[in-house]
A and B are shown apart, each in its own frame.
Chain A
Amino acid sequence: MNARPLRKGAFLAIAASGALALTACGGGGFNNNNSGTQPSKTGPVKLTVMIGSSGDAETSAVKAAAAAWAAKSGNTVEVIAAQDLGQQLGQAFASSAPPDLFYTDASRIGTYAKAGNLFAYGDQVKDAGFVDSLVKAFTYDGKFYCAPKDSSTLALQINTGLWTKAGLTDADIPKDWAGLEAVAKKLTSGTVTGLVIGNDINRSGAFMRQAGGWVVNSSGAMSATDAGNLQGLQEVQKLMKDGVLKFNTQTTPSTGWGGEAFGKQLAAMTIEGNWIAGGMKDYPDVKYKVVELPAGPAGKGTLMFTNCWGIAAKSPNQAAAVDLVKSLITPEQQMKFADAFGVMPSTTEGLKQFAAKFPDSAAFVAGAEYGTGPVNLAGLDDVINKFNSQLATLTGTAGDPAAWLADLQKNGTAALAG
């Protein structure tokens, strides 16, 4: 019999608690500043740096560098090694206090910049002498967003033991696709496949570049249906059909990446970046050498990967963060990082020193001159992922690269249009 007043009361109570919650939100849970610059605090500040670390060596090297700057400048720095950098950054951006400084992969620049998460400070560090292609990789919508932290390029690794066993000499090192086919055939026998590469665009894409194609053109439009892209993938498929090239997932047993197949001697050659040195520490018996990728019909081509030091648009300590970045990108500091965990510098001067100190890595350094950075436009992440998942199913006889490239073109164009 009290039904009506009861309902009314319930509504009131819910409304009241609702109002309470909303006011709590308005109190400063969200920061409504989109301009990207914040009034900088003066005096000593505490910076938070979030990195996606490859291991203890990298974490402690970054910590040491940050501590040196902190001691000199009178600030404090806390370095956090993220478990899953992309995920943790995504959540941090949605909160009110993201880390001040963080690793940012070149492929994420567009997405982060478009959402207003990045402070564009490129102009303050552009005189550091960065490699041109790296500056391009971190330029989105005409703005140079952040200082490249490192660089890496793809090169061809050859298992020298298997190489000589197959009767090959230095003269046989492939200079073009025909040469690659010839040696891959000779190296394939028993459980060994001539060439094993990762199953996504980050490896097969090198073939696309060598045939003169790429996913986007210089004006930032999709160009996935260009002839070069199809030609590159057809070359991959042709080698697969001959049984001399496999994706890492197609070896028996399947492997996690090209380097694992190479280390376990399931592959006589692989295409990886300079991080292979770290991976090969698990397989000390395997002797190998690194040469430049063979050229395709359109000349030399390789892919370049890089991270930058991103600064949060919401950070109140941007001036201090830029200062810290400046101390991290000096050639001396970058060479310290190179010594500690094998990463390549991002400046021309740094690369020169790196090539002199590590002659075995000359092929990686050479690649920096003509390497292509990742696609960094906003919203293309998903599109590329979709393409990768299709590409992963490629075999010598099955799979339709032309249709996948058409999908890529269609989805990419739609995504770029918003």
Chain B
Amino acid sequence: MSDISDAAVPAVDRPHDSRASRTSARRTARFGGGLRGPEGIMGWLFVSPLVLILGLFLVIPIAMALWVSLTNWNGSANPFGGGQGAEFVGIKNYSDLFFKDGLTRANFMQSISNTFWYVIAVVPLQTVISLALALLVNAKFLKARSFFRTAFYFPSVTSSIAISTVFLFLFGGGVINGFLKLIGVTGPNWFNDDRGLVHLLFNAVGVDNPSWGKAEIFGRSLWDWLSGPSVAMSVIIILVVWTTSGTFMLMFIASLQDLPVEVDEAAALDGTTNRQRLRYVTIPMIKPTIFLVLTLGLIGTWQVFDQIYVMGGGNPNGTTLSPAYLSYKQSFANFKYGSGAAMAFVVFAIIIVLTSVQRWVLTDKDDRKPLFGRRRKGASA
């Protein structure tokens, strides 16, 4: 704020002037008068529409949802009135999710486990594939580049519901299995197969529900946590990777086109191979985009809902449940809005933690600040 006034006076007067403007600012805050008095008020006036809109549509609803997660609201009473159907229950909804033996915890933990495997599979796959596609359609030798860009981007602009329905037809209707039969493979019964992929790997080496897998974490045995995505979930993984790669490809293309050609040429003159150029020149330079893609991927995958809603709603055997879908069911089908909201906030916390961990991992070692807590004194931003 002081930039304008500082520039207007000779440099020698600065210390004095700066002190003066500080007192004036203080006076402004207190009395609303003075030379630049109305500036603050005007500023607030100008941003107030945005503050109001953000408050009304973002801050207030989140606060309301947080409140609901602390009540046992059943959907028919006034959630803020207290009384029957909306009693304040403290953190019971949260503690039940983790510590109360029962179906809610079993379902929630299964959904967390499913989504964990889903994220593990989807995020790296979609990042690598979209980067590969971007490098491909960014290559100078490629003809009809815009055609390929459109083609790869197409799945992303199509409605997820429509694509899910098409996949239901492809995998459930026997098209894929018919194709697999041609090459002599008997395909599984995709949407009804609840076997986990990691379990199948274990089974292949002769391990099935071993004694070390009996230990329970939050009421779910270690063996179950390790199941891996089920065959049915794998279909959803394939679908999501296919649809989202286009969007992320676009982001990679944008950043690739921003790269200075000179650096690439200089590296080429130094006698680097293509692979070396990719590893030591291109990828370090597009690191911010990689961070963006990973973050968006992480957030998006933890919130998976549409595909689950269309493709079976948790079947088979709960192996496609996701926390977002479970939260929806808990609220709108079982009228346990408090518990449903609590699930949503737990997922919110998981996303926040994972994103900060990922941010920490991707930052250069020298710039790192501790994961949690305050920055070391004197460290630069």
CB neighbours of A116 from chain B (8 A): 74, 76-77, 85
Does residue A44 face the partner (Cβ distance < 8 Å to B)?
A: no
CB neighbours of B106 from chain A (8 A): 386, 411
Nearest chain A residue, comparing its CB with the CB of B110: A386
Say whether A90 contacts B52, CB under 8 Å.
Answer: no
Say whether B55 contacts A254, CB under 8 Å.
Answer: no
Query: A13-B51, A116-B85, A389-B314 are known contacts. Are A411 and B102 too (CB-CB below 8 A)?
Result: yes
Q: How far is the CB of B106 from chain A (nearest CB, A)?
A: 8
Does residue B333 face the partner (Cβ distance < 8 Å to A)?
A: yes
Say whether B315 contacts A392, CB under 8 Å.
Answer: yes
Say whether B74 contacts A115, CB under 8 Å.
Answer: yes
List CB contacts (< 8 Å) of B56-94 with chain A: 56, 59-60, 63, 74-81, 83-85
Q: How far is the CB of B2 from chain A (nearest CB, A)?
A: 7
CB neighbours of A389 from chain B (8 A): 314-318
Partner of B173, one of A253, A379, A383, A415: A253
Q: How far is the CB of B319 from chain A (nearest CB, A)?
A: 9
List CB contacts (< 8 Å) of B305-347 with chain A: 314-318, 329, 331-335, 337
Say whether B84 contacts A34, CB under 8 Å.
Answer: yes
Q: How far is the CB of B238 from chain A (nearest CB, A)?
A: 19
Does residue A414 face the partner (Cβ distance < 8 Å to B)?
A: yes
Q: How far is the CB of B6 from chain A (nearest CB, A)?
A: 12
Does residue B101 face the partner (Cβ distance < 8 Å to A)?
A: yes
CB neighbours of A381 from chain B (8 A): 333-334
Partner of B334, one of A10, A18, A22, A379: A379
Q: How far is the CB of A186 from chain B (nearest CB, A)?
A: 27
CB neighbours of B329 from chain A (8 A): 382
Say whether A2 contacts B107, CB under 8 Å.
Answer: no
Say whether B81 contacts A30, CB under 8 Å.
Answer: yes
CB neighbours of A114 from chain B (8 A): 74, 335
Say whether A18 contacts B60, CB under 8 Å.
Answer: yes
CB neighbours of B78 from chain A (8 A): 30-32
Say whether A254 contacts B189, CB under 8 Å.
Answer: yes
CB neighbours of B315 from chain A (8 A): 389, 392
> 0/1 per residue, B189-221, Cβ < 8 Å to A?
101101000000000000000000000000000
Say whether A2 contacts B25, CB under 8 Å.
Answer: yes
Say whether B103 contacts A414, CB under 8 Å.
Answer: yes
Say whether B1 contacts A2, CB under 8 Å.
Answer: yes
CA distance A5 to B314 in the complex (A): 51
CA distance A386 to B55 in the complex (A): 40
CB neighbours of A392 from chain B (8 A): 192, 315-317
Nearest chain B residue, comparing its CB with the CB of A413: B102
Query: A392-B317, A393-B194 are known contacts. Are A415 and B102 too (CB-CB below 8 A)?
Result: yes
Pick the most buried of B48, B83, B84, B334: most chain A CB atoms within 10 A of its CB: B334
List CB contacts (< 8 Å) of B243-275 with chain A: none
CA distance A114 to B334 in the complex (A): 10
Say whether A254 contacts B192, CB under 8 Å.
Answer: yes
> 0/1 per residue, A216-258, Cβ < 8 Å to B?
0000000000000000000000000000000001100110000
Nearest chain A residue, comparing its CB with the CB of B318: A389
Does residue B180 face the partner (Cβ distance < 8 Å to A)?
A: no
Query: A18-B60, A389-B318, A414-B102 are known contacts. Are A94 and B75 too (CB-CB below 8 A)?
Result: yes
Say whether A115 contacts B75, CB under 8 Å.
Answer: yes
Say whether A18 contacts B85, CB under 8 Å.
Answer: no
Known pairs A90-B75, A250-B192, A254-B174 / 19 extra A-B pairs, C-beta < 8 Å: A1-B25, A5-B28, A13-B48, A21-B56, A34-B83, A90-B331, A90-B332, A91-B332, A94-B332, A116-B76, A249-B189, A250-B189, A254-B189, A314-B76, A382-B329, A383-B103, A386-B103, A414-B102, A415-B102
6 cross-chain pairs, A with B, having the tightest CB-CB distances, nearest first: A17-B55, A90-B332, A30-B78, A5-B29, A115-B74, A411-B103
Q: List 30 A-B contacts (CB under 8 A).
A: A2-B29, A2-B40, A4-B29, A9-B44, A10-B51, A13-B44, A17-B51, A17-B55, A17-B56, A17-B60, A18-B55, A22-B60, A25-B80, A26-B80, A30-B78, A30-B79, A34-B77, A34-B83, A91-B332, A114-B335, A115-B75, A253-B173, A254-B174, A254-B192, A313-B76, A379-B334, A382-B103, A393-B316, A414-B102, A415-B103
